[in-house]
A = this chain, B = another copy of it.
Amino acid sequence: MYSIGEVSKMFHLPISTLRYYDKEGLLPGLIREKSNIRKFDERSLESLRVIECLKKSGMEIKDIKQFMIWCSEGSATYQKRLEMFQKQKQNIESKIDQLQKTLEMVEFKCWYYTRAIEDGNEAFAENMPDSLPDEIKPLYIRSHT
């Protein structure tokens, strides 16, 4: 059993954030000691680990809350929890795809300014993509579609 201050240090989260998560219903199993003090057990810590992961994946607080509620409802909600993770898997995959495309555009811009610095101007940009090095062409094409 851990106090809020200890958990704050363990997870590198401000105490205010832990209280906020509790208030928002992200820690449904959280226990209060006599005189109202929060006590985090192993299950609460596991909840925090899951919250950390779901937040990194871009999930919103209210959806994380729904998941935590399902967890506290037992085996009847396995299917819903699975569907939630399957949807989140797709969300993450499409985010990665989007970032890959953005990365190509940014790599193109790196090439572009490297060349502009060499030349001292951007005149080369006037007759693109014909004048492009072959390894840049596919970047250029995809960056502008």
Residues of A within 8 A of B (CB): 49, 53, 56-57, 75, 78-79, 81-82, 85-86, 88-89, 92-93, 95-96, 98-103, 105-107, 109-110, 113-114, 116-117, 120-122, 143-144
A86 CB, nearest partner CB in chain B, Å: 6
Residues in B with CB closer than 8 Å to A113 are 78-79, 81-82, 85
| A86 in contact with B110 (CB, 8 Å) | yes
A114 CB, nearest partner CB in chain B, Å: 6
How many copies of this chain are found per oligomer? 2
Does the CB pair B78–A117 fall under 8 Å? yes
Is the contact region of chain A dominated by helix, strand, or loop, or is it mixed? Answer: helix
Whether the Cβ atoms of A82 and B98 lie closer than 8 Å is no
